[in-house]
Structure 1
Amino acid sequence: MNKITDTAATGQRPHAARTTLAVLKALRRDKRISRKDLPGLTGLSAGTITAVTSDLVARGLIVEQRAAGTGKGRPRTYLEIDAAGPVVVGARLSERGELQTAFVDLTGRELFTARTPIPVFPTLAQFAQRICDELDRAIVTSTIVPRTIAHVGLAVPALVDDRTGVVHQMLTVASDPVPLADMLAERLNLPVTVENNANCLVRGEHWFGCAQEHDDFTLFRVGYVLSSARYAGGMPRTGAHGFTPEIGHAKTAYGSEAKPCFCGALGCVSAYCSIAGLVMHPEEWHASRLPPLEVVDERFARLLDDAEQGHPEALDALKTAGEHLGRIVADHVNAADPGSIIILVPDERYRKLTMATFQDNLDALALPAFLRNTRVSFATTSKDWQWKGMAALALEKAYLGPARKPEPV
């Protein structure tokens, strides 16, 4: 059975977590509201609002501010997220091998950032140890007092059990699973969450970006690979083992003519519609032969330029990309009834050049009843999505309670 959240990882049961986050999201949207406003904004009862807000005040996550008196009667009391409260640390290991770290307050305001190259190591354990070293160094360099840090969230491009923080697989490093969250918690003596980059991105869009108004939606991202993550009932949804589904490795082509994918299989949708799938040659999928990402970016920009100028080969490649993207989105609509689907693309030209075949395949393959009730939209991936996603991961975990923190010695 799929789990929306994990009690051990958040400190709250799913229903309690949803009510807590519903209150905090209302406060983020409206900035300064009273307890009396919250039932109408969240659909929660007055009793539940009182219990949740009292807990959040006691934990130093929100504050009560009394309005200046303007006449008779008791001045109104407003609730606000406490910008002077705890700090959270969000970190992300990028596809370019760079550890990007952001320290933010509870409102999401950036306080300090750091970027550090992480070289490739022969084993995942060595890789994990270097991440521990660099995060420790970033905390020291930031001059932020460690006891004010409420939570550390780390996102990595890997197959991760987000309940336990165990990294099971990373493309460029062959190794046994590594308990990265435990390693970091022991090293930093702080609560730590580790999860997949896609799940981090979907949190960022839900808290800060284009999905703030959606509690039920799926986010597809066309990047170097095709990735996706999902929210249901206002909470991220992962699989039975804590994994974020790898939609990019679902098959949209079969047989010996299907394109090879870096995972070793044939016909993966990423091989047809992702950046790398469009511009990399099959022999380059091997980790030892991967071209620099700058080269991949240059090829992709040239492909879009050529398509805009009417070059048949480029137009055909993007037509095929739209076809396969439409197939996988239709399959998801039929299988998940997601409510809304947001597709993030790296360049607006990608959307324009793939839209016709995307829409044709979506219309042909999705069941009409599902499609009529699913809102499908496109957006361009924002340049600052990394820190938004990192901050959202750490903020959400801080709001919901401690996770993966070692016992005091």
Structure 2
Amino acid sequence: MSEQFERLSRLPLRDDLRGKHPYGAPQLDVPILLNVNENTYGVPDDVRQAIVDAVSREVGGLNRYPDREFSDLRSNLARYLGHGLTPDNLWAANGSNEVLQHLLQAFGGPGRSAIGFPPTYSMYPLLASSTGTRYIPGEGNESFTLGAEDAARQVHDSGANVVFLCSPNNPTGTALGLDVVEAVYEASGKANAIVIVDEAYAEFAHSDTVSALTLLKGRERLVVSRTMSKAFAMAGARLGYLASAPEVADALRLVRLPYHLSAITQAAANAALTHSTQLLANVEDIKTQRDRIVESLRALGLTPAPSDANFVLFGGLEDPQGIWQGLLEAGVLIRDVGIPGHLRVTAGTETETTVFLDSLSALLGKTVS
């Protein structure tokens, strides 16, 4: 790695990128992958065939550019989200990371700043850096929660131009109350900031957790971002999207690359949205396994964070690296997210969850009751 950085240092790289590391999670060939919050159930056979058919129909026209406005996709996304949204309220890109990048390109940049509240999604500072936006790490608390008054104060005092609120939060799984979003939006008015509520895991939330989509009306600076990578089991398709006031999408048209969504991507996403009921059929099973993990970890004397996502962050580990390695040797890959004494595990199938819990129990010398 040092040799790689030495070679890199000889290039005329931007000063603010020197010494930084790219995003990356271990990609290892093990039987059970529970490290990057994928939907381990995969795409059902009937939906898979529908996607293949849809893509096949596009192949004959690949000599032509795709629909630059991805009109059908925006209509399907609006129909899926509901809440009175229309195609004008929707924007999409190659994964929610590109959606966030578009937002920073349009509303961040040199001389501007963005604030987030660690521990949170590790791409926020990387995306900020790549767009020349100064990143301000806010402060949460030891219970991985964020209070409305405290968050609003920090946003107001920061004067940030872009605010990241992740709910359910990655890597903690904790959801924000709508009071936090409302308070932050109000506090960001002085800087005329864009407030982004990143709801990548919203489909896995508990029934009493309310989406920030309900707050969009009348708030032109509020954005809710989503993805088809998680609940839709389409991480490989790279399709993220957002809902907002129409003028936000108009701003993003100024920074997007021409024809940024391929005809293949649009076809696959449209087919998936047409079969959303089948694709989302496993969400309740995943939530059941998530709650099972939380209860079992508590029984093992560990401290899992409350989760509204398809993963669980848990602490109380004296040797998290040793546990991570022991699980890997047992054929289970989970994630070390860099929080001392903690690890994170994706909720998989019932079988995968059982193997994880049994392997962890053996490493701890305890038994799951």
The answer to whether the superposition gives a TM-score over 0.5 is no
Tell me which interval the TM-score lies in, with the shorter structure as reference length: 0.3 to 0.5
Larger relative contact order, structure 1 or 2 (CA cutoff 8 Å, min sep 6): 2
Of Structure 1 and Structure 2, the greater strand share is in 1
Bigger-Rg structure (1/2): 1
TM superposition score normalised by structure 1:
0.31
